[in-house]
Amino acid sequence: MKIKQLLEIQSFLEKRAVPEDLGRLLNLTYYSKSKMQLINIGDMDLTHFVRVFAKMLESNDSPLQNEIDKMRERLDEIEQENNNDNTH
């Protein structure tokens, strides 16, 4: 089932509107390598979205993972600097 459909069902069951910002987010696109085309997130099946999202998190190519790696490297540098300062 598509994410847009699931959100509509959730809205009906919970008697609450879909948050406005989700409209913009659902229109963000993801490039499908298998289909070789851009797909709106809202048009993705939930299972496909979860797999893509998990793959992005596990991938070293994800922007978030790159930022985490940079932060870890910087923390290691700071820790080494502190250790060097404490040994002198």
In order along the chain (88 residues), what is the average pLDDT of each group of 10 residues? Answer: 96 94 92 89 95 80 74 91 79
Give the residue carrying structure tokens 């979860």: 50
Contacts of 55 (CB under 8 A, 6+ apart): none
Q: Looking at residue 70, what is its pLDDT?
A: 85
User: What's the pLDDT score for residue 8?
Assistant: 95
Q: Among 32, 68, 67, which residue's Cα sits nearest to residue 49?
A: 32
CB 25 within 8 A of CB 40: no
* Cα separation, 18 vs 12, whole angstroms: 9
| Radius of gyration of the chain, Cα coordinates, nearest whole angstrom | 20
pTM over 0.85: no
